[in-house]
Amino acid sequence: MTFILISNDDGIHADGLTPLVDAIQSQAQVKVVVPLENCSGASNKLTLDRPLIPKQLPNGYYAVPGTPTDCVYLACQGFFDDEPSFVVSGINRGANLGDDVLYSGTVAAAIEGRFLRKSAIAISLNGHQHYETAAEVARYLFMHWLDFSIPQPCVLNINVPDVPLDNIQGFEVTRLGRRQKAEKVIPHKNPRGEFGYWIGHAGIGIEEPGTDFHAIAHNKVSLTPIGTDMTLHSVLPSMNVLQRHLDQHFQSLHLT
């Protein structure tokens, strides 16, 4: 019997996990495979230097001493007798807007589902209070997913305003926005007198119309379809010119 896989990057003790499980299991059978510890910022890291030993908790959840990508890979590649039909990642504590998706373990878990030919959503809350709002959004989207002609497999990056459900102003299909340059590293001295550095805060989001930042600023749920093709297609014609130049130069070297 197929099932819905739920994972995250905030770990087994994440505040957003149980609200998401409660919302989705009202619609389908659910299995939970999440990191044992917080893996925020892990991106698509895959553990290759040691075996992974999942631990099943009394509530049936599986905690994996690894990354979000590890969790989804395990669940889709033989850990269970059956494969999941859908991957839901979240609810993340904090938004994943714009370039955040490059670092996000929440988005990475969904992308791993897509690599394994599963449809997937990543859902994040723009804060850490109203998880019930994000859970209801996830339930609603999952309930209506098959009603729409969305190409499969698809990764949908969802960001939810951190407000009560009644304050949500609707949904908006968006593109990834941009942030201003991140702040500089923060020097730190530990009790042993050793100097190190904290990563600085992310840059402020630029609220351009049509972007995920703009939607969130107006209390709308942002829906951004994302892919994994990082080819910069607009540059390919210029690169073809460069290729011909390099080929001619390379051939002239061998003809002399």
* Crossing angle of the two packed helices 105-115 and 68-76, in degrees rounded to 10: 20
Q: Which two tokens stand for residue 161?
A: 């305003």
**Burial 14-37, CB ≥16 within 10 A → b, else e:** bebbebbbebbbeeeebbbbbbbe
User: What is the pTM (predicted TM-score) of this model?
Assistant: 0.90
DSSP state of 101: G
Residue whose C-alpha is closest to residue 173's, from 119, 238, 224:
224
Task: Supply the DSSP string of 128-188, one letter for each residue.
Answer: SS-HHHHHHHHHHHHHHGGGS---SS-EEEEEEESS-GGG---EEE-B--EEPPPPPPEEE
Neighbouring residues of 63: CB distance < 8 A, sequence distance ≥ 6: 11, 12, 34, 35, 36, 54, 55, 56, 57
| Per-residue confidence in pLDDT tens, the chain, 256 aa | 579 999 999 999 999 999 999 999 988 899 999 999 999 999 999 999 999 999 999 999 999 999 999 999 999 999 999 999 899 999 999 999 999 999 999 999 999 988 878 789 999 999 999 999 999 999 998 888 767 767 777 899 999 999 999 999 999 999 999 998 888 989 998 999 998 998 888 888 899 999 999 999 999 999 999 988 889 999 999 898 889 888 888 887 766 5
